[in-house]
Amino acid sequence: MVTFLMATMRCLREINYSVNQQKRETVRQDAQDVINVQRGLACGGWGLGDRMGSVGHSAVREARRLYCTARAGTFLTDSMTKRKQNKDKTGTASVKNRNPSITARYFEQRGGEILETIRQLVEMESPSDNKEAVDRLGEALAKKFSELGGKVHFHRTAKFGDHLQVDFAARDDRKPVLLLGHMDTVYPIGTLATMPCRVADGRLWGPGTLDMKSGIGLMLHSIEALRARNGESPRSVTVLLVSDEEVGSDSSRHITEELAKKSEAVLVLEPAYGLQGAVKTARKGVGEYSLKVSGIAAHSGLDFKKGQSAILELALQIAKIAEFTDAKRGLTLNVGLVQGGTRVNVVAAEATAAIDVRIVRMKDASGIDRKLRSLRPFNRKCKLEISGGLNRPPMERTAGVAGLYGKATQIAKQLGWRLGEAAVGGGSDGNLTAGLGIPTLDGLGGVGEGAHANHESILISELPRRAALLAELIEAV
C-alpha cells in the first residue's frame, strides 16, 4: 500500500509538472492518466517486475508516457508516434528523436525502478558452477526481455547455465548493436545470507551488484526507454548474456564471436572503472599455461642421491619465468598456483605450476609463447611439459574502439559530464569481440567498487545517467 501511495504521489508530481509545462493535448492525456492512477492502472509499480506478467506490454506504454512527460512541450501521443513512423520507415525518425537531455530527465524519474530491477537480479544468486541457479535467472530475464518485445533464444549447454540471446528487430537496415554481458557471478549459493542485498550510504550492496547485475538492469531499462521513445526499437539490438564468463567463457565463446561478427559494434556492460565511472577502451589479453615437471622419487633418508626433485627443478623454473615479465610493455607473468610432492620424506617426482600471462599487444603473444615453450630443465634428469596458451586476446585501443569512445564522450558531454577512459589488466568477453576487430566499448555498466569482494556495491546516483548514456549510444553507433 505504501509503495502504491508513493508511486501514485510520484505520478501526480509528474502530472503536475506536465500540466504546468505542456500544451493542451498533454493536459488531456494527463487527465486520462489521473483517471488511470485512480483506477490503479498507471504508475502502479515497475512493470518489469513480477507484475509484468499480468500487465503485458503496459510497462512499455507506461515508459512511453513517462518519456513523453520528460519531453516537455513536444509530447507525442501513441497515434502521433505511429503516424511519424509510417511516414518514415527508414529509421531516420529515431535519429531525429534523439535528445540526450530528455533521455536524462526520463531516467532521473526512473532511478528507483532501475534500482529495484537490479535488486531483484542480485537476489537471484547465480554462481557459474550452478546450472540450475543460473538457468533460473536466465528464465526470469528471458521473461523480462520478451515482455519488452524481444525474441528470446537459449543456447543450451550441459555444464553451465544456458546462454541467453535476445533479438530486438527494427525497420532500419543498420547492423545490430550487440549488448554483451554475463549472468554468472563468483559467489556461491547462500552468500546472500552473510552479504545481504541492501541499500545504505547511497549504494546498493550485495554479491554481483557491480559485476554485473547492474549492467543487466541498465540493458533492460535502456531498451525499454528506446521502445518508449520510438514505438519500437530504433535499430536492431542483440543482447547476449552468457553464463560462464567468470570461469573463462569456454562454452560461450563461439556464440559471442559469431554474434559480434554480425554486429556494427559491441557494448559491454561490465562494471565501469573506478568511482569516476570511466569506460574501458583497452584490456590486457590473458593467457594461462601449465608447467609440469617430472623428476625421480626416492626416500629422502636412504636414497637421497637417487632422487631427482621435481620441486627443486620447478623452483628454478619459476625464477626463470619471473624474468620474462616486462612491466614496461605491460607484459606480466604470475605463477599463481604450485603443486608438487607426496610426502615430506620423499624426493618429489612431480610438481606443476599454473602461470597467468597478461599482454597489452597481440604481437607479444607469440614471443612469450615461444619463450615458455623453449624452457629447458636445469637438471637434465628432470622433464618439462608446458601446455596452455592465450585465452583472451588483448582488447587494443583500435580506431574502432576510439571512435566508439568518442561518440560516448560526446553523449556524456550533452548529458553534462566528462566520461573518462581506462586501460585495465583484467579481461572480459569484450576482449574476444575486440580481438576480431569489431569496435567494442567496455565498462558501460554500473559504477562502484569491490567486485568479487565482500564490499561489492554500486553508486545508486550513477544509475540514471549510465542508462541514458547506454540508450543514446545504442542509437548513435
Residues that bind Zn ion (CB under 5 A): 211-212, 270
Q: Please say which residue, 235 or 358, places its beta carbon nearer to Zn ion.
A: 358
Could you tell me which of 392, 388, 399, 391 has the C-alpha nearest to residue 432? Answer: 392
Render 291-349 in DSSP notation, one character per residue.
EEEE-B-EETTTSGGG-B-HHHHHHHHHHHHHTT-BGGGTBEEEEEEEEE-S-TTEE-S
Q: How far is the CB of 303 from Zn ion (least distance, A)?
A: 51
DSSP reduced 3-state for 430: helix
Burial class (CB in 10 A: 0-12, 13-18, 19+), 403: middle
Cα angle value 65/415/199 (rounded, 5°)? 75
Rounded to whole angstroms, the Cα distance separating 253 from 257 reads 6
Q: Please say which residue, 30 or 211, places its beta carbon nearer to Zn ion.
A: 211
Q: Please say which residue, 135 or 211, places its beta carbon nearer to Zn ion.
A: 211
Could you tell me which of 335, 333, 336 has the C-alpha nearest to residue 359? Answer: 333
Cell of 400: 574502432
Rounded to whole angstroms, the Cα distance separating 214 from 164 reads 17
Q: How far is the CB of 91 from Zn ion (least distance, A)?
A: 32
Q: How far is the CB of 5 from Zn ion (least distance, A)?
A: 38
Q: How far is the CB of 219 from Zn ion (least distance, A)?
A: 14
- Say which DSSP state 243 is in: S
Q: Please say which residue, 62 or 211, places its beta carbon nearer to Zn ion.
A: 211
Could you tell me which of 175, 176, 170 has the C-alpha nearest to residue 85? Answer: 170
Q: Please say which residue, 210 or 333, places its beta carbon nearer to Zn ion.
A: 210
Q: Please say which residue, 212 or 404, places its beta carbon nearer to Zn ion.
A: 212
Q: Please say which residue, 45 or 427, places its beta carbon nearer to Zn ion.
A: 427
105 near 465, Cβ under 8 Å? no
Q: Please say which residue, 240 or 347, places its beta carbon nearer to Zn ion.
A: 240
Q: How many other C-beta atoms can be found within 10 angstroms of the C-beta atom of residue 425?
A: 12
Buried b (16+ CB within 10 A) or exposed e, 21-34: ebeeebbebbeebe
- Say which DSSP state 150 is in: P
Q: How far is the CB of 245 from Zn ion (least distance, A)?
A: 6
Q: How far is the CB of 206 from Zn ion (least distance, A)?
A: 15
Q: How far is the CB of 211 from Zn ion (least distance, A)?
A: 4
Cell of 141: 530475464
Q: Please say which residue, 113 or 442, places its beta carbon nearer to Zn ion.
A: 442
Q: How far is the CB of 288 from Zn ion (least distance, A)?
A: 18
Dihedral angle over CA of 376, 378, 381, 386, nearest 10 = -30
Residue whose CB is nearest to Zn ion in the complex, by number: 211
Q: How far is the CB of 418 from Zn ion (least distance, A)?
A: 25
Q: Please say which residue, 89 or 455, places its beta carbon nearer to Zn ion.
A: 455
Q: How far is the CB of 212 from Zn ion (least distance, A)?
A: 5
Q: Please say which residue, 42 or 210, places its beta carbon nearer to Zn ion.
A: 210
Render 201-212 in DSSP notation, one character per residue.
TTEEESTTIIII
Alpha-carbon radius of gyration of the chain: 26
Cell of 49: 517486475
Give the residues across from 355 on adjacent strands: 289, 335
CA 101 from centroid of its chain's CA atoms: 25
Q: How far is the CB of 411 from Zn ion (least distance, A)?
A: 23
